[in-house]
Structures are given as structure tokens and as C-alpha cells.
Structure 1
């Protein structure tokens, strides 16, 4: 069933995402009332009515498109962590982040996206990264390359000797230990800045606009779409143990995704030295 679905036209998935965002997210962009914003674990970890409604909308639409599939969404997992077990199950899984970059969304910043990934048996099969304010839809299919608004995109490689530009876990979300690990990137030849929406940072790497990302957390909904997108655009990734990132968790952190293997190796070396 999953092979037949992937062999077909996946345009219905794109349309489902666009519709959910048009119905549930964009009407609330810069229009949120105070009661529609809730703190989850602290003032920097927010959820809005848009997140919840968009995830519910996508859950219904995506499981209808692929009968027998299940959804692992950020908000569903927050309500019931047992939902995560589906990532290692037998059914095809839609991994959904309804509003990646909720803090940006709350503040009226355009830098947010909706991320959807189709996985099966822990393998990433297809992904969609949709930045509605920028009218950008990036799609990746395993073995089929990466597209942005229908045009192929490629990571390329950094220019030899050029300063590497790296986006890292935002300092507001990192522990002292994680800050210490990321401090390994504070060296000549590397310019570091805190990340915004993880999904959009991965898109920047896939387009060759950013050299690498280095993250200290492993929520599948934040990373699955971007990791497939970067990989299909010719990039690479690895955890601190030099292994592929596992969507089921238990990864050696931090991990990095970058424009090429050489950059991945360089970033991992710097991170390891700091540890």
C-alpha cells in the first residue's frame, strides 16, 4: 500500500497541507487573542489555537489519503507521550509539526512553517516544508530529489576556506551542558547564530544559503522533514556518534546536518572537542 501511494501523485498531500494552513493558521496570523496562546513548559515553549486546530485538520486529512496510516503530531504527543510509539510501529506514520516556529508565529514574525513527513519503519519517505507567508513549498521524496516550488534545489558545497555559517539550538532552549557542547563551534572560520524555525533552517541548508545546523534536541516533528530535504538536496547529517539520526530517539547529541559530508565531519569534530 505504501509503495503504491508513493508511486502516485502526491499532490493531494500538498493540497491538504495548504488547505489546513489556509483554514487554521493564516486567519490567526497576527490576529491571536491572549487566550489563544498557552505556555507548555515555560515562556519560550508556546502553543496556540492555530497549532492545535491545524494538527487536528491535518490528522483527519492525511489519514484519509492513506488508509491505515497514523499521525504523530507535536500537540498529540504533548497530550499523550505514548503516541510516540507509533514511530517504531508497522503502520505508515505522518510526522506533523503544525506550526514550526510557534514563537515567531506568536510574535507576528513570518519565519514559521508547517512540516509534514511520511515515514515507515523509521525510514523517511517523503516530506513537505511549507512556509505560507513566503509562499514556499519544499518537497522531498526518498531517491527523488528535492524541490522548492517545483524547481530542483541543491546544497552544493561551501567555498574552500570560506567562513562556515551555522545555525544552532536557540540559547533560550538550551541547558548549560548543551551550551558548553555548542561552544565548540566558537572558533575562527565558523560564524554561529541561534536558529529560528528548524524547518526553515533545514531549507536554508538545502538551498545552499546556510552551511550547517547543529541541534541539541531530537523531537522527530522538528527534524524529520528537514533531514530528508537536506539529504535529497545532496547534503548529509550525523549525530555526535557519527551515526544517522533516528526518529525514534536515543541519539547522541548534538547532531548536525550540513551541505556536504566534509562539513558534517568538521562540525562534529568541533562539537566532540568541546565535550
Structure 2
């Protein structure tokens, strides 16, 4: 495994948030928000400035790493295809939950994952509002780390009956007929929602507050860090066909659950559409 200074990488996310993100929160000008692909897919000046700062700092810490940021890929889509083959890659979402951020809702995060030879080996999710990190290195567990130096091990909650499960179901990227079927099937669980912020959804999952999270669109900056953190907290994760979720995947869906038995029940009774 690559030798990482995970604390230094975590601090980079905090520095970018303090310098470029928080000063712009609820303080964006008329030209600071732009639409990318649709009205719910936004980019702000804060996203771009934070990514530039993170990229520069990562270049100092890991000069040989391929840097793949959400906004970098928007400018150069070919970057996306290089993650799986890179000896070392750092994948960053400078603001996950940009829609919330732009609306003034304090539900957004900064995410980073480290990929070594096609495998996710580290994940960091920083919450600028709470000023703490969810951090995992492969094989070392998942940890909630606070600025006072305290750490708390993260763990999935015990499995629940299907009728009592609560979780995340992001239904927006299914075609309409599949979405209708999925929404009917979701009546089998106790509660489902979407916070439009994978950073906080994965944190809630890995802290034992939810039973599952389901996503259809798989951009690496949205899911690599969170999936590793959830797995290190004890979750079972796989694509809809049961295959492992890998850094180069951008399709095939993803379901993370308390354990394999819960995963199979959810797939059989809810998410097979």
C-alpha cells in the first residue's frame, strides 16, 4: 500500500474550506453560480477555487499522483478514464452538495479518495460546518476525527427487518418507468430520503444512523471515499449485479447495506426493477 500522510491530506480539505468555501457560503454574487448540465447540476466560484487550491497542495504532498477533480474532469473529460490505470490517483469533490451550498443550506462537504493501482486505499470526507472528518484507510477501520484530536470509531448499526430499514435512495437518475417501479417498491422500507449530498449521506450511514444507501449514477468523486468509509465501518457494498464497485466504474448502480444478507434482501425486494 502506498505510504500516505492521511492527516496532511485531511488538513488540505480543511484549509481549502476555510480559504475558499466558507467565505463564499451565503455570500455568492450574481455571476458566481452557473448551470452545468441541468438546473440541479451547478458549479460555483467556490467549487473551482477550492479545487485549484486542493490540486496545488496535493501536488506538493504527492507529486507523482494523477489529480482528478470534478471540475477538472468538466474541463478535460479524458481524465476520468485514467483513474483505473494510474499507479496513484487522488480524486476530489471540492464541494459535494453544490446545489445545497448555492441555496444557502449548510449540508455540503469536501471529499477526497486515494486510488492505488485501481483500488481505493483511503477516503476522507470533511464537513466544513461541523469542522470534522470521516477518514478511512483500507484495513484500518473508519474514524470520525475532530479538531481537538479525539477520534471515534465508526460502525454500521445492526441489521434491521426490511420494514424497519431507513436509508438513502437517489432515484433521480433512473428513466421514468423504472423510477415509478422503484418508488412503489420503496414502500417496503420504513423511510427513505435523499439529502442531495453524498458526503453527509455516507457519514450518516457509517455512523450507524441508516441501513442502506442506493445510487445509480457513479461518478468517482461522489462515491469512492464514502464507499470505503462505509466498508471499513462494516458495510457490504456492491453494484446492482453483485460485482465489486471499483474506481473506474461510472455505471451499474451501487447499493451499500448493513451486511450481505440485508444487501440481498434489499436487492430482491426493493431495487430489482
Q: Which TM-score applies when normalising by structure 1? A: 0.91
The alpha carbon displacement at 1:258 in A equals 1.6
Q: Does 2:268 align with 1:269?
A: yes
1:155 is aligned to: 156
CA drift of 1:222 comes to 0.3
Deviates more, 1:41-50 or 1:178-187: 178-187
CA gap of 1:268–1:106, structure 2 versus 1, over 3 A, is: same
Q: Deviations over 1:143-189 (max 9, x none)?
A: 00010022111113234566111211154x54314514633642334
Give yes or no for contact 1:202–1:226 (8 Å, CA) kept in 2. yes
Question: How far apart, in 2, do the equivalents of 1:115 and 1:188 lie?
Answer: 32
Q: Deviations over 1:80-110 (max 9, x none)?
A: 1101122022331001000000000011111
Q: How many residues align?
A: 268
- SS of corresponding position for 2:167: strand
- The 8 Å contact of residues 168 and 182 in structure 1, kept in 2 or not, is answered as no
Task: Return closer, same or farther for 1:161/1:246 CA change in 2, 3 Å cut-off.
Answer: closer
In 1, the alpha carbon distance for the partners of 2:246 and 2:260 equals 18
Distance 2:174 2:195 in 1: 12
Kindly indicate whether the alpha-carbon contact (under 8 Å) linking 2:157 and 2:211 is maintained by their aligned counterparts in 1. no
Partner of 1:41: 37
Aligned to 1:256: 255
- Checking the alignment, whether the CA contact within 8 Å between 2:217 and 2:251 is kept in structure 1 is no
For structure 1, which runs of at least 5 residues remain unmatched after alignment?
Answer: none
Q: CA offsets, 1:213-253, max 9 Å, x none? A: 11110101000010000000111111110111122125423
> Could you tell me the TM-score, scaled by structure 2's length?
0.92
State yes or no: 1:216 paired with 2:216: yes
Show CA shifts across 1:114-142 (max 9, x none): 00000112201111101111222110000
Whole-Å separation in 2 of the counterparts to 1:95 and 1:220: 7
Cα distance in 2, alignment partners of residues 181 and 160 from structure 1:
21
Deviation of residue 200 (structure 1)? 1.0
Alignment of 1:84-163 (within 5 A): 84-149=80-145, 150-160=151-161, 163=164
| 8 Å Cα contact 1:245/1:251 also seen in 2 | no
Counterparts of 2:184 and 2:267, CA distance in 1: 9
Point out where structure 2 has 5 or more consecutive residues left out of the alignment. 146-150
Q: Which runs of 4+ in 1 moved over 4 A?
A: none
Which of 46, 50, 61 pairs up with 2:57?
61
Instruction: Give the 5 Å matches for 1:6-85.
Output: 6=4, 9-85=5-81
**Residues 24/178 of structure 1: CA separation in 2 closer, same or farther (3 Å cut):** farther
Kindly indicate whether residue 164 of structure 2 is the aligned counterpart of residue 168 of structure 1: no
RMSD: 1.8
